[in-house]
Amino acid sequence: MRPQKVQDEELLNGMMSVLRDKGYDGVSLNDLSRAAGLQKASLYHRFPGGKKEIGQALLAYIDLWLETNILSVIADETKPPEQRLSKVLDNINDIYEDGNKACLMKAVSGQIGLDLFGDELNSSMSKWIKGFTDLASAFGFDRPYAKKLGHQVLINIQGALIVSKGMDSNEYFTATIEHIKSLYLNK
């Protein structure tokens, strides 16, 4: 078997970038193959299920990132909650390039994407909420307020990404990250 010209992580990052920009409904297989650095036939060889399989692979890739960079950091009780919060927010800044990149969840949340990936989106969002709820509990917030905070963090992050893109300024995202920090630290 010939070695793959484009490694999986490089391939997924390239396709994720174009999918973030165009959305699932607007991206074509030609767009994805160019972003992946592969001929269309090679893309089909890797993803015989086409665009749907690519979407599933990207959502699985993001889910792994979420598990590694958010949930496992939050669950690490060997670190104080302040340190976990700081690391998680740094990781969020990194994945969204300080608010300059759109969220993959938004990119697949058009009607076609929801029909295809609704369960995956629901699962991912539920994990975000649970993680930030657990973090709020680690800070000593009572469970009902912790759960409310977990929901609000997801809403704040997603909303800030949209506003930052719409206003062509990442200051909204940066301010939101600082606001989230203050929600946890100023109990």
Residue-level length of the chain = 187
Confidence of residue 107 (pLDDT cuts 50, 70, 90): confident
91 contact partners, CB below 8 Å, separation of at least 6: 69, 70, 73
Confidence of residue 14 (pLDDT cuts 50, 70, 90): very high
pLDDT digits (tens, 9 = 90+) for 64-102: 999 999 999 999 999 999 999 999 999 999 999 999 988
Contact 120, 105 (CB under 8 A): no
Contact 110, 24 (CB under 8 A): yes
Q: In this predicted structure, what is the pLDDT of residue 7?
A: 67
